[in-house]
Amino acid sequence: MTLAHSEMPTPERVRSAAFTPTRLGRRGIDESEVHAFCGWVADGLGMLLNDNNMLQAEIMRLRDRLLEGKGRAGVQPEDAHAQAVQVLSKAQQTADRYVADAQEYSRELAEEARLRRDEILNEANPPRFRQGLTIWFTGLSGSGKSTLANLLEKRLHAQGRHTYVLDGDNVRHGLNRDLGFTEADRVENIRRVAEVAKLMVDAGLIVLVSFISPFRAERRVARALFEPGEFVEVFVDTPLAECERRDPKGLYAKARRGELRNMTGIDSPYEAPESAEVRVATAGMRAEEGVASIMEALQATSVRGSVPG
């Protein structure tokens, strides 16, 4: 590529708004643009160095001719020598300034290109938090699982993540409407939900599963379907007394009156997780605070390989 002198990277042109890294960052840096500009800068530097060498040689020839003239045309040899040195010094300063400005901008552009490269690599191979992931909420009825799951989904959706919530309201009335609440049916309920969640994770979604899922063994089976780091267990740890006080669906009241059998926490056991990735104690805590603690755990992205109950 050959540049005309009007295209040379002068200090004014290098510093102009049209070529600032901030401007490039706002409109995005295309890889071909980076390569083209780096080539442009390299050619410009080459021309500067070549012109500088030619200028020095021309000035030296001028000085020699003046010295050989021994004062002809009214020019004293000493004056001619001083003028030649002065011109050479100014030319060198100008060339040095051009080179320094071009090198500084090349460094800035290289940093912008590096940042853009990191963005591209991050999109191509994002951290686990930005890939498919299952966030499994477990806890007693009325503990706040669905509230946390729905708030977290809104937070993730606002960040541009593709999400889906699986809970009793959208599973028990469709996929699992043939199941009751016996221990065997509860196990099958969780198995089906885990299989659906796995398919969604494979498609790149963040799946928020909100089920009582009372048995450790079944939660282990669900976890085993996923790759390390794809399953985050959130234990919504709310005391039974608080859940009974809330009782949003009136289920505890029915169970206490004997109108509802196999109610978890009353006549059916709940096996609390022993080492869940996240524990949220909702008693005395606002839902937004619980979501914030879950987000912190997700952003840490250190949930790989553990096998909580």
| Enzyme catalytic residues | 213
Region of 70 please: left (phi>0), alpha (psi -120 to 50) or beta: left
Q: State the Cα–Cα distance between residues 70 and 62, nearest whole angstrom.
A: 13
Question: For residue 43, what are the contacts with CB-CB under 8 A and spacing of at least 6?
Answer: 1, 2, 3
* Signed CA dihedral, 56, 62, 64, 66: sign only: negative
Phi, then psi, of 298 in degrees rounded to 5:
-65, -40
Number of neighbouring beta carbons within 10 Å of residue 85: 12
**CB–CB of 306/292 below 8 Å?**
no
Q: State the Cα–Cα distance between residues 206 and 157, nearest whole angstrom.
A: 10
Q: Which helix (H) or strand (E) holds 133?
A: strand 133-138
Nearest to 225 by CA among 241, 237, 209, 238: 209
